[in-house]
Structure 1
Amino acid sequence: MRRPVALRLNAALATLAVAAATGVVLSMPEAAAAASGATGYATQNGGTTGGAGGQTVRATTGTAIHQALCGRASSSTPITIEVEGTINHGNTSKVSGDSCSTAEDKIELKQISNVTIVGVGGGAVFDQLGIHIRESSNIIIQNVTVRNVKKSGSPTSNGGDAIGMESGVRNVWVDHTTLEASGGESEGYDGLFDMKNDTQYVTLSYSVLRNSGRGGLIGSSESDRSNGYVTFHHNKYENIDSRTPLLRGGISHIYNNHYVDLHESGINSRAGARAKVDNNYFQDSKDVLGTFYTDEAGYWQVSGNIFDNVTWSEREGDNNPAGPDPRSNTSVSIPYSYNLDAADCVPGVVSQTAGAGKGLKVSDGSCTPQNPDPTDPGPTDPGPTDPDPDPTDPGPTDPPTGTNLSIGAGSDGSSKAAGTSYGNVRDGDMGTYWSPTGSTGSVSVKWGSATTVSKINIREAAGSEGNIGSWRVVNHDTGSVLASGSGAGVIGFARTSLEKITFEITGSSGTPRVAEFETYAG
């Protein structure tokens, strides 16, 4: 880097030196981390709920985090891991198990789903230890600091990325984090937030990225164009050389971010990438938007941005800045609703909300930071940005009306106890039921053609009421999680066209007995 880096850590983050130990089970509530719900592209593809509805454990070491992942009934059993203290190489070791695939030199979230990692108490600091997400889905990381992760020197971790995602990753929400380094590539650091090899439906929100040569990228090379659908909002990029972010292919939505002291370039849209860039505040920086270091162009749609003391270089060869008067050269349609803060108040709003240890404060578009709503039932409910809320619509827990689509459909599942049948859940008879062979399992309703469903009703057999604990509703066609929670009853979700829907029981307090798995269009 061209300038000395003054690493600024939140003094409120305490460090705890604790021997590796198994996490302590606290409770089984909805994930506290998801109080306000995911935003941006993480709300698409079935949504991002993390460990909602599953067990909650406390971890003070990296080994304990891995043990919590490996101690689940399956790799998809929901879990929230509350982290406090300093997580480093000295207290992080590999743990083996059927529900995990971990490593000793990083926090490994590999081939798993439905996990929340959230900093609590005095704070969580991942010191020189990166977080690696690979072949995984439905992950939330919130209220943590990741610092000084190196790819060369000692110790090394995660290829030098603070948070890195690759290989078939879906639905990740990273929120209220602080990601920081102490220099650039020559000092041994790489990216702060990288996405590669088919990573999609990701949101980075209310985070601080600073003191690094590279902010982050989407796509590892000009040919890696399988990534995209990524939202960046209300983040602060500060004292960074370039890649804020670098975009290769795909679609990104970049709004209400504060960029300060970018030395070489900022948003680098290339290799066919398309970015919607709204109401950001660019300050004391150089070449904050354009296509740089390649002749394979990218594109942008711009509106409402402020350029405060931004300098622009001349267009020449593979250097094509968008300024000094940035104009749109594409159009990008955004499928979700969102509230824009005015660009002139972005520095103030971001300074009060972004980063770990800020109390999870957010903005509702009024330029005034808001505390998270403790009464919000969770991320599966429509948020304040619902594009067309209708107060007269029935809620997701109201008794369903209309035709039970399960009658006459087919069914199958993961296992069935003696004397029970998959077909019993769609026969309209409360006297018959299906049970798995153990305490967990799944049952599905299926049709011969695409059928629209937005609500199901799980009815337990007499004498077994309350036995069903945590569950997930899955679009079997795509593997997307439509809803998660605990207890039987009516479950609502976004209208979805599918041929097979699965109710997966991931926890129970007794033998689950599902008498009826009813499905409804609305």
Structure 2
Amino acid sequence: MKPTLLSFLFLLFSALEVTCTDSGVNGFASANGGTTGGGSAVAVTVTTAADLKEAAGTPGAKVIIHRQWYNRCQQHHISDQQQDHNRCRRNRHPLSHVWYDHLAIRDASDGLLDITLQSDYHTVSWCKFWYTNSSLPHRLANLHIQERMPRVMCGGAHIYNNYHTFWGNNYAIGFGSYGSVAILNNYFNGTQDPHRFLHDVYADGETEGSIYDGTIGVRDEGKKGSRDVAGQEGSRYRPVTTPYAYALDAAEAVPELVRACAGPRASSV
């Protein structure tokens, strides 16, 4: 149907009616004593990739404010350790109690946001992930995104009130290899395989309350897999539990909430 002026004004009015509220640190970053960043720490503003790496690499509690785009050749890793997606057991400097909030992340040549190395208690909230160049070969993240939004292996993730909108992707949320996900009240628009089980290794996917608008393909859920990985038999999956309070928005409200409230905001800087 061709958009009309009336429908445009209705959408504009609806967007203006959305109220964006911040409830402080939430999600896993609020659990187990809370995030060690934020709070009364003096904010550090960075405008280059080098400044970001230096600020993130120093010990202690901190707040880091981004005021610049970094191109995909300036990819930043807080840890210089080599990633290994095939092993659950790691002894290399995991990072815990991290909160990624109101960020816009795009066009990295590798994953847009990788939480690995047995890192724990991470929250990703009110962030936007996308690619502007469909020819990039590794569009794996969380317009032109292929998959891993997110992909969960060897850990648990609470995935709720997200807006997934793209066409021609491989899958949206992936889980497998001892990964567990709770997928609640998300909105999937025009997506292939909204949530897919990956690899025939024990995993768990719990789903409830999401909207599937024009989607195709699988919506895998429940206990999956039939085998362990040799040498990793102790890395058994379990359903996701949330050691914090949270409130779900209705799935039908998610698209407008995300459009209006996600990404960098003047009030947060």
Would the TM-score normalized by the shorter structure come out above 0.5?
yes
> Residue 246 of structure 1: CA displacement?
1.0
Counterparts of 1:340-419 in structure 2 under 5 Å?
340-357=248-265, 359-360=267-268
Counterparts of 1:220-239 in structure 2 under 5 Å?
238-239=143-144
Match of 2:40 in 1: 53
Q: In the alignment, does 2:120 pair up with 1:173?
A: no
* Per-residue deviation, residues 207-260 of structure 1 (Å, max 9, x unmatched): 0000161105xxxxxxxxxxxxxxxxxxxxx43101111111211100000001
Alpha carbons of structure 1 residues 39 and 51: separation in structure 2 relative to 1, 3 Å:
closer
Q: Partner of 1:215: helix, strand, or coil? A: coil
> Residue 332 of structure 1: CA displacement?
3.1
> Residue 333 of structure 1: CA displacement?
2.5
Alpha carbons of structure 1 residues 304 and 215: separation in structure 2 relative to 1, 3 Å:
same
CA distance in 2, matches of 1:332, 1:248: 13
Alpha carbons of structure 1 residues 107 and 295: separation in structure 2 relative to 1, 3 Å:
farther
CA contact (8 A) 1:107 1:130 kept: no
CA contact (8 A) 1:239 1:261 kept: yes
CA contact (8 A) 2:178 2:201 kept: yes
Alpha carbons of structure 1 residues 107 and 310: separation in structure 2 relative to 1, 3 Å:
farther
Q: Partner of 2:175: helix, strand, or coil? A: strand
Counterparts of 1:218-257 in structure 2 under 5 Å?
238-257=143-162
CA distance in 2, matches of 1:243, 1:46: 29
> Residue 331 of structure 1: CA displacement?
4.3
Please tell me whether Structure 1 or Structure 2 has the larger radius of gyration of its CA atoms: 1
> Residue 357 of structure 1: CA displacement?
3.2
Match of 1:265 in 2: 171
CA contact (8 A) 1:110 1:132 kept: no
Q: Partner of 2:263: helix, strand, or coil? A: coil
Equivalent residue letter for 2:79: R
Alpha carbons of structure 1 residues 42 and 51: separation in structure 2 relative to 1, 3 Å:
closer
CA distance in 1, matches of 2:38, 2:221: 42
Structure whose residues are more often helix by fraction: 2
Equivalent residue letter for 1:352: A
> Residue 261 of structure 1: CA displacement?
0.8
Q: In the alignment, does 2:187 pair up with 1:281?
A: yes
CA distance in 2, matches of 1:288, 1:178: 22
CA distance in 1, matches of 2:120, 2:240: 17
Equivalent residue letter for 2:69: V
CA contact (8 A) 1:167 1:196 kept: no
State the identity as a percent.
28
One of 72, 89, 111 as aligned partner of 1:191? 111
Q: Partner of 1:117: helix, strand, or coil? A: strand
CA distance in 2, matches of 1:131, 1:279: 32
Equivalent residue letter for 2:121: Y
Match of 1:113 in 2: 60
Match of 1:87 in 2: 48
Equivalent residue letter for 2:153: R
TM (normalized to structure 2)?
0.72
CA contact (8 A) 1:190 1:213 kept: yes
> Residue 82 of structure 1: CA displacement?
2.6
CA contact (8 A) 2:44 2:55 kept: no
> Residue 87 of structure 1: CA displacement?
1.9
Equivalent residue letter for 2:247: N
In structure 1, runs of 5+ residues without a counterpart are 1-34, 57-79, 94-101, 136-157, 160-165, 183-188, 217-237, 313-320, 361-371, 373-522
One of 109, 130, 145 as aligned partner of 2:75? 130
CA contact (8 A) 2:204 2:221 kept: no
CA distance in 1, matches of 2:181, 2:193: 16
CA contact (8 A) 2:178 2:202 kept: yes
CA contact (8 A) 1:239 1:260 kept: no
CA distance in 2, matches of 1:280, 1:328: 17
Structure whose residues are more often strand by fraction: 1
> Residue 308 of structure 1: CA displacement?
0.8
Match of 1:295 in 2: 200
Q: Partner of 1:109: helix, strand, or coil? A: helix
CA contact (8 A) 1:107 1:132 kept: no
* Per-residue deviation, residues 283-334 of structure 1 (Å, max 9, x unmatched): 1111120213x2224211110001111110xxxxxxxx4x3xx554474321
Alpha carbons of structure 1 residues 107 and 130: separation in structure 2 relative to 1, 3 Å:
farther
Alpha carbons of structure 1 residues 344 and 246: separation in structure 2 relative to 1, 3 Å:
same
> Residue 115 of structure 1: CA displacement?
1.3
In structure 2, runs of 5+ residues without a counterpart are 1-21, 84-91, 132-137, 224-237
CA distance in 1, matches of 2:58, 2:201: 33
Alpha carbons of structure 1 residues 358 and 328: separation in structure 2 relative to 1, 3 Å:
farther
